[in-house]
Chain A
Amino acid sequence: MRPSERKTYDCAPTLNDTQVLDFCKNGYLLLEGVVPDEINQRATKYLDEDDFYEPTGILAQDWFVENVTLNPVATGAVRALLGADFHTPVLMSNHRVQCPVADVGGWHVDGNFDFALELNYLQVFYYPQDTPLELGPTQILPGSHLVHNKARFMSHLGSIRGAVPTAAPAGSIFLTAYHVWHRRGPSTATALRNMLKYFYWRTTPPQRDWILEESFDFAAAGYGSPIASIVEQFRADIKVAELFLWLCGQRDSFQNLGGQSWPLPGHRRDTPYGFPAALERSR
């Protein structure tokens, strides 16, 4: 079967416990320069010939599929987050911008979102060219996948404390929780910027089958998120823990007994009160 004919894909996961937990906290993962330059140039040339906003035909190109959508580094991370036999992309969007564009895009969550504490699909971006600040890389608000919002309620938002630009070299891929808040950054350089966007879906129930860390301790792990400053105290920790346990296939074990109980951070003299019995302290 040709690479471009694959509907699902499996490979070894490349993220460990800490990295999966970090994704739960941040809602995105940036993989810098993982696509070879030759492929970046070929993709750019292809996109010059097919400048439609949905150049889905590129998914029929084996050279592209092998090196981008089935890129070993990216798929290893996708495998860790979405489990075995995840579904491969079926549609390609291109946020192609003739820079400079002085205005920033509006903050938004993309349509058809679901703020449930689950991770059943990933929205992924690929920059085929160097994308420094001057080319207006997408800005993301880390941890905002934990905070409900609607795109039409966000149009008046401007600068947000803690927002980060995804400035990255050519060949970078970044994985996002679909409903993380994001927008196009302002650009000042004169150049054409492509940014391809596509999806992967989970096809199997979640389980902790990524790289296990011998020393990982569910009781002592920190569940804090960078979004903590705009939500009620500890609410981000609780949401991160619930999402992480869902990914571990342990949602039924999750409990929050209130006050100083697990999963709140703290310097405790013993196992945190309320720590689920089904979880391991360490292996």
Chain B
Amino acid sequence: MTETQQKIAADLETELAIGTLTTARLRQGIADIVQSSGNSRQDLLYLQAANTSPHSQVVGMMLIREGVRSEGGLDAEKWPYQTVLDAVREGWRIISFPNMALLAMDHDDSHGLGFEFILEKWS
């Protein structure tokens, strides 16, 4: 369920709890939930970590929320997530793990920025 759908459901539960929920209001709430599922958008979070562990420190980040790209700023200590697990705890789902084929590269060479996790949320 998206954040929007969760809010609609929570509102319905509240109305039920205080006794104001009507049949018409319930039907409207269900319709809103169904309709909003067609409007949901995928948010993406790219996190580059220091190693393959989701516990490791994030060394790079980029966020796309509601189609708008944003970043964490120059001060890394103020980024919203210091590890990949920090983001998972806030509801982000990992949809891509670091590509272990990178191990096949020459050990003398260093390539790219860290170990990339891509995460999603639906809003």
Which residues in A have some Cβ–Cβ distance to B below 8 Å? 103-104, 139, 146-149, 153-154, 156-165, 227, 229-232, 235-236, 239
Contact = CB atoms under 8 A, between A and B. Distances in A.
A161 B60 contact: yes
Contact of A163 (B46, B69, B74, B109): B74
A231 B110 contact: yes
Contacts of B70: 158
A160 B110 contact: no
Q: Which of A103, A160, A235 has the most CB of B within 10 A?
A: A160
B44 to A, nearest CB: 9
A268 to B, nearest CB: 24
Interface of B: 46, 48, 50, 57-63, 69-74, 76, 79, 107-114
Contacts of A154: 113
B64 to A, nearest CB: 9
B107 A160 contact: no
Contact of A148 (B48, B57, B71, B110): B110
A229 B59 contact: yes
27 contacts: A103-B69, A104-B71, A146-B110, A147-B110, A147-B112, A149-B113, A153-B112, A157-B60, A157-B113, A158-B61, A158-B62, A158-B63, A158-B69, A158-B71, A159-B62, A159-B74, A159-B76, A159-B79, A160-B59, A162-B76, A164-B74, A227-B110, A230-B113, A230-B114, A231-B110, A232-B110, A235-B110
B65 to A, nearest CB: 12
A161 B76 contact: yes
A160 B113 contact: yes
Contacts of B109: 148
A159 B61 contact: yes
Contacts of A147: 110-113
A235 B114 CA distance: 14
B107 A158 contact: no
